[in-house]
Amino acid sequence: MNSSGARTIDATAFLAEYPEYGETTVLDELRDTEYAYLDEQRQVYLDYTGAGLAATAQHRAHDEWVTAGCYGNPHSDNPTSLAATARVEAARAAVYAYFNAAPEKYAVIFTANATAACRLVGEAYPFDRSTALVLTADNHNSVNGLRAFAAAKHARTEYVYITGTELRVSEQSVRAALSRRSLREICAATATRGTRRRGLFAYPAQSNFSGVQHPLEWVELAHEYGFDVLLDAAAYVPANTLDLEAVPADFVPVSWYKVFGYPTGVGCLIARRDALARLRRPWFAGGSIRAVSVRGGWHTMAPGGTAFEDGTANFLAVPDVEHGIDWVRGIGMDVIRQRTRCLTGWLLDRLAALEHDNGMPLVRIYGPRTMVGRGATVALNILDPAGAVVDERLVARESSAAGLSLRTGCFCNPGSGEAAFGLDRTALRRMAGRQVRTIDEYVAAIGLPSGGAIRVSLGIASNFSDVQRFIDFVGTYRNRPCDGHELPPREQC
């Protein structure tokens, strides 16, 4: 049977197993029109956790509004400034509505990306010896980096570690970390009679490594223990709705290009105003102050979120956030979520079933094997007939040659990677004082079988053919020894 016939049989089996996929045909129509460039260029795009894809309609909308007006620096009252300000504020209003975040409760602060949003919180959070930073081990490095700000102010940092093959964090462990108090915390709580926060709890709504979706209920749990909450929504919101009236996180970083591809270079921090008032910025800049004196040596910050929007907003890009939000709302987030869930479930099932002729599995999946409590991101490694991990550099080279865009490496999430590979904590701590010259030397020193994993993630324009093309690609490693290849040195994780 040729590959076309086999694929037809697979498609029939897929629709029989996931009949609800038939309710998402609007995305097939959009694939043929608004995302037609994928098939025209024979691209198989499987990196939606890295970046979303933009519809042609979004680019048209940008051209139309930019060419229809004249826009200047928003920090003035002249006509071009007011025109730009109106566009930026319309985008801000769209963000409030999208997250059901009441403007009297929340501030929407435009940033370059989710990383910049995290930094705004970390550098201004009132850490001290009597506060704590609690992090789940499953976090992007943009969140892990908060520990540097905590350490600089002598705050305690504690990780809640991952357990089990599904790479989840248990609620019991979260409760234990949030309830733990040092002597300084007890003294400080007594002195202030419970009016201050005990610190910051930071975790992702969805893992950018494994696709695990951590409970949104942890936001209220942390509040009960006296913590502010930074909920990293960057990997979650491209296929899920986040209602901040129901999930009242204090700080929510978002990168808009991950949701709808365009514009890049625009993210935001959605922050509760009462939590924002507790922050103390370590500097000031143009656009973020109400008044400043050079001779007097004083300054006063602008009120609310304005104090956190440094310099001039990207006023020819921020307005495109409104168009992007309108685009995905017009499709329906439930439709996007349903499609990606069906495709991811099929992918997981078929990858788990692949074997070499000797009965050894062809794939090792990291994280949940079902769609319970997970999103459309799958981390895996390909195995050779002896059970050894196929070097991710070889997979990157050969998948690129086959026209597949997927991600390989550590994905800026070392905690999940360490748990997935079962790395010993003692050995990792020993590396803190050891100098290594190259990434390859580091990989060998900690006992990694490879430099990382392969990540496949699905999104708004994904279809059955994309998933099947990847499954077929993995099948090319069946019964195939993969040693003896000359590979370039690793320059980053």
* Distance (Å, whole) CA 96 – CA 453: 37
How many other CB atoms sit within 10 Å of the CB of residue 217? Answer: 10
In this structure, are strands 298-301 and 289-293 parallel, antiparallel, or unpaired? antiparallel
Q: One of 70, 412, 482, 493 is an active-site residue; which one?
A: 412
Specify the DSSP element, H or E, that contains 346: helix 333-353
* Distance (Å, whole) CA 280 – CA 296: 21
Looking at residue 96, its amino acid is Y
* Distance (Å, whole) CA 64 – CA 83: 15
Q: Following DSSP, what letter does each residue of 264-292 receive, concatenated?
A: SS-EEEEEEHHHHTT---S---TTSEEEE
> Which residue's structure tokens are 């409970």?
215
Sign of torsion over alpha carbons 201, 204, 209, 211: positive
* Distance (Å, whole) CA 147 – CA 164: 25
* Distance (Å, whole) CA 308 – CA 272: 13
Specify the DSSP element, H or E, that contains 251: strand 251-255
> Which residue's structure tokens are 């296929």?
239
Which DSSP symbol is given to 361? Answer: B
Indicate if 412 belongs to the active site.
yes
> Which residue's structure tokens are 């400080």?
188
For 362, residues 6+ apart whose C-beta sits below 8 A from its C-beta are 351, 354, 355, 356, 382, 383, 474, 475, 477, 478
For 345-462, list the strands marked E by DSSP: 363-366, 377-382, 404-405, 407-409, 453-457
Q: Is the peptide bond before 282 cis (omega within 30 degrees of 0)?
A: no
For 128-247, list the strands marked E by DSSP: 132-136, 156-160, 199-204, 227-232
Structure tokens at 345: 């479930």
For 196, residues 6+ apart whose C-beta sits below 8 A from its C-beta are 188, 189
Active-site positions read 412
